[in-house]
């Protein structure tokens, strides 16, 4: 199955959200991922995934019948306009406001928006400012 592609060296292997209403979550996440340029990787019986995030129903075999959350997930945006598009798409597809797009005090260029997804998770899109685009990737070897 395509979802089992292995990427060594990443901090997170995968994250699973187990949700009450898979259709509502799929509409919500498809809309915000579209604005962030993240494709839906695929779907199966009781789940869908994008990159390393798997969203499944409680009756999916991997869920073991238990809902997850609430959790906080932050997705990277490439600019402030993308943060605003994320926020609008989230509100238009079942999300609730948890912080309109704007600068935050985390560091001088931290521009983010926060929404609550259909299952009560705090979902964020963040742009770290112009330095984010020019910062080199760092590879750590042990």
Residues of the chain falling short of pLDDT 70: 1-10, 131-142
Asked if residues 44 and 102 have their Cβ atoms less than 8 Å apart, the reply is: no
pLDDT in the model for residue 4:
55
The model's pTM: 0.85
Cα angle for residues 87, 7, 74 (degrees, 5° grid): 20
Asked if residues 47 and 54 have their Cβ atoms less than 8 Å apart, the reply is: yes
Cα 135 to Cα 61, 114, 122, 127, 131: the distances in Å are 41, 24, 27, 13, 6
Alpha carbon of residue 74 to chain centroid: 6
Provide the CATH topology of domain 2-59+69-134.
2,3-Dihydroxybiphenyl 1,2-Dioxygenase; domain 1 (3.10.180)
């Amino acid at each position: 199955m395509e979802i089992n592609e292995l990427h060594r060296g990443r901090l997170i292997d995968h994250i699973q959200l187990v949700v009450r209403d898979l259709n509502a979550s799929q509409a919500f996440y498809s809309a915000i991922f579209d604005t962030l340029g993240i494709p839906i990787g695929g779907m199966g019986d009781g789940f869908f995934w994008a990159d390393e995030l798997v969203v499944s129903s409680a009756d999916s075999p991997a869920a073991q019948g238990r809902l997850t959350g609430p959790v906080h997930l932050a997705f990277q945006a490439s600019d402030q306009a993308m943060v605003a598009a994320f926020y609008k798409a989230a509100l238009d597809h079942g999300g609730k406001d948890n912080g309109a797009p704007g600068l935050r005090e985390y560091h001088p260029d931290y521009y983010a928006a926060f929404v609550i997804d259909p299952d009560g998770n705090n979902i964020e899109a963040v742009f770290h400012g112009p330095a984010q685009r020019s910062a080199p990737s760092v590879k750590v070897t042990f």
